[in-house]
Each structure stands twice: as C-alpha cells, then as structure tokens.
Amino acid sequence: ETGVTQSPTHLIKTRGQQVTLRCSSQSGHNTVSWYQQALGQGPQFIFQYYREEENGRGNFPPRFSGLQFPNYSSELNVNALELDDSALYLCASRPIGEGTEAFFGQGTRLTVV
C-alpha cells in the first residue's frame, strides 16, 4: 500500500459530459501529479501541483484542469469528454525535489461511451 488513494476506481461517462477524479496524497507529500495511461502505452504526464499551484503541464488541452487543496489532496477535471479520453488515470504523490520517488495510486479507469 502506497498511501495514495484515488476515487472512484471505475467510471463510465458519455461523450460531452464532465468528470472529476480525486486523489489523496501520501502523508508528508506536497507534490501531486496526474497521468493518463492508454491501453498498451506508458503513462503520459498531464500536470503537476505543488502547494496548490500548477507547476508543470504536459501536452493536454485546457479542458483538462486540476486543483490541489491545502491538505495536498487533488482533483482532475475533464470537460467535454471525448471517446479518446478513455484511459487509466493515475495520480502520484512525492516530496518536492528532483529525484524523489513517486508513489502511485491504484488509478481510476474511465470509459467514455
């Protein structure tokens, strides 16, 4: 158990809808990052939050947005869902600093129909 928990574990949404995914970081970890993993691919970096501010973003459109709360938990919001958004969404937490180990949650499997 990594101490990083994500909810929900599975979700089915209709194209065009909006979704919110949640992540509770491991105690003492102030940095949370989100990844999208399509089937057969490695995780793709969406964005990272440090002390409630976004401090890095991958090549994802603005309809992917997020928040980090004072307790370091985080949300990923996706608007106007598309079929290609179907994937495993992973949250990882770690202490700030280059080279620190990232601990992943079990992921949320999103299916867009």
Partner 1 sequence: RKEVEQDPGPFNVPEGATVAFNCTYSNSASQSFFWYRQDCRKEPKLLMSVYSSGNEDGRFTAQLNRASQYISLLIRDSKLSDSATYLCVVTAHEKLTFGTGTRLTIIP
Contact between 87 and 41 under an 8 Å Cβ cutoff? The reply is no
Q: Candidates 18-26, 42-50, 66-74, 78-86 — which segment interacts with partner 1 by CB under 8 A? A: 42-50
* Residue 14 or 59 having the CB closest to partner 1: 59
Task: Report residue 36 as tokens.
Answer: 């999208």
1 contacts: CB under 8 Å, gap ≥ 6: none
Beta bridge partners of 11: 110
* Residue 43 or 66 having the CB closest to partner 1: 43
Contact between 5 and 105 under an 8 Å Cβ cutoff? The reply is yes
For residue 58, state whether it binds partner 1 (rule: CB under 8 A): yes
* Residue 4 or 81 having the CB closest to partner 1: 4
Q: Which residues bind partner 1 (CB under 8 A)?
A: 2, 31, 33, 35, 40-45, 48, 55-56, 58, 90, 92, 96-99, 101-107
